[in-house]
Amino acid sequence: MTLPIKPPYPPMEALLVGEIPAGENWEYEPKWDGFRALAFRDGEKVELQSKSGQELARYFPEVVEALLKLKASKFVLDGELVIPARSAGILPASGGEALGFSFDELLQRIHPAASRVAKLAKETPAHFIVFDLLVDETGKPLVDLPLAKRRPKLESFAKKYLSKNRDIELSPKTKDINVAREWLSTTGIKLDGIIAKRLDLPYRSGTRDGMQKVKRMRTADCVVGGFRYASKGKVVGSLLLGLYDAAGALHHVGYTSSFNEAEKKELTKKLEPLIKPPGFTGNKPGGPSRWSTKKTSEWEPLQTKLVAEVQYDHFTGGRFRHGTRFLRWRPDKNPKACTIDQVK
């Protein structure tokens, strides 16, 4: 019997909100700072799929190996790929020291050379933190069951198959909102925020219904639709950010320019090969103003391939009110998923 769910399978996603929702129908989990991934195992075949539907197995061979070692030969798990900053226990509730994760080391894994990936897999092995079971070890799909029934099945699966495997771990959960608030207070140390899940709803593939996420800082994943050169020298000065509307048009919504001189030179090498119109298909960057020179008002359109996560303070009138702070590249995100819904 083959798996009833196969990649690409869109995972259930979360809507960004400002406060942790309260009530009997909510359960809370840490939001881990890594790559979201679905793990499919069917006999001796293992596939890892990113949130955007891309194949990840070649970049994380040690996780594939760990999944193949499990005595269950058939399952689909939903979880997060992380690289611990230190070789210690992942979960703070276990009594161990709070542990950070290295997102930069995750980004280094997305490399075309298999030899480089293999080297990094040995030096900085990744872990897989599991938080949902979509297909059990008998091949039975569980996505139509409410979370209140799926989670106990996941815990039973973890107790039976994961108890001796430190590379694959069960994510903690709680119904106590005070514990969730305590987890949220560690954002920036080891977590990316909090996930709240509705206990009474099934797994809604590809939607944001029934899951909410809370972060201590406001962030958004944006498409880099173009760039401007710096006023002096032929190097990138700022990235021009875009978000898609419901009709699929990419609107210019702001910029980020928080780069030093060395980073600007690297950005120039990265972006110039991608120059290609139209870049933005909706609202485009404005023209000259009393604050800009002719050179700084001109911009170069890019192929819409790159996603950047940025931090911001306000979003009004269809734009970031001030310049944003670049946080990191997100090669695991599909540019088409960078929608205006994130900042509503």
Q: Which one of 162, 189, 214 terminates a domain?
A: 214
Closest C-alpha to 198, from 189, 207, 186: 207
Residue 323 backbone zone (phi > 0: left; psi -120 to 50: alpha; other: beta): beta
**Is 206 in the same domain as 251?**
no
Closest C-alpha to 221, from 14, 39, 10, 38: 14
Residue 295 is a catalytic residue: no
Question: How many Å apart are CA 108 and CA 116, to the nearest integer?
Answer: 9
Q: Is residue 168 part of a domain?
A: yes
**Is 108 in the same domain as 207?**
yes
Q: Across the chain, how many H-helices and E-strands are there?
A: 7, 17
- Token look-up 């391939």 returns 305
pLDDT score recorded for residue 189? 59
Token pair of 230, please? 């710096």
**Is 205 in the same domain as 223?**
no
Question: How many Å apart are CA 307 and CA 321, to the nearest integer?
Answer: 20
**Is 145 in the same domain as 163?**
yes
pLDDT score recorded for residue 318? 87
Catalytic residue among 6, 31, 190, 336: 31
pLDDT score recorded for residue 103? 81
Closest C-alpha to 102, from 266, 262, 328, 305: 328
**Is 284 in the same domain as 164?**
no
Number of domains in the chain: 2
Q: Is residue 3 part of a domain?
A: no
- Token look-up 């406001």 returns 218
Q: What is the pTM of this model?
A: 0.72
Please tell me whether the peptide bond between 202 and the residue prior to it is cis, using omega within 30 degrees of 0: no
pLDDT score recorded for residue 190? 63
Q: Kindly give the parts of the chain with pLDDT less than 50.
A: 87-98, 287-296
**Is 247 in the same domain as 304?**
yes
CATH of the domain at 51: 3.30.470.30
Q: Which one of 180, 214, 248 terminates a domain?
A: 214
**Is 68 in the same domain as 81?**
yes
pLDDT score recorded for residue 297? 60
**Is 232 in the same domain as 316?**
yes
- The pLDDT > 90 percentage for the chain reads 70
CATH of the domain at 239: 2.40.50.140
pLDDT score recorded for residue 150? 98
Expressed as residue numbers, the domain containing 248 is 219-343
Following DSSP, what letter does each residue of 22-79 receive, concatenated?
-STTEEEEEEESSEEEEEEEETTEEEEEETTS-B-GGG-HHHHHHHHHSS--EEEEEE
pLDDT score recorded for residue 188? 62
Question: How many Å apart are CA 170 and CA 298, to the nearest integer?
Answer: 50
Q: What is the DSSP letter of 10?
A: P
Query: Could you tell me the sign of the dihedral formed by the alpha carbons of 311, 313, 314, 319, in that order?
Result: negative
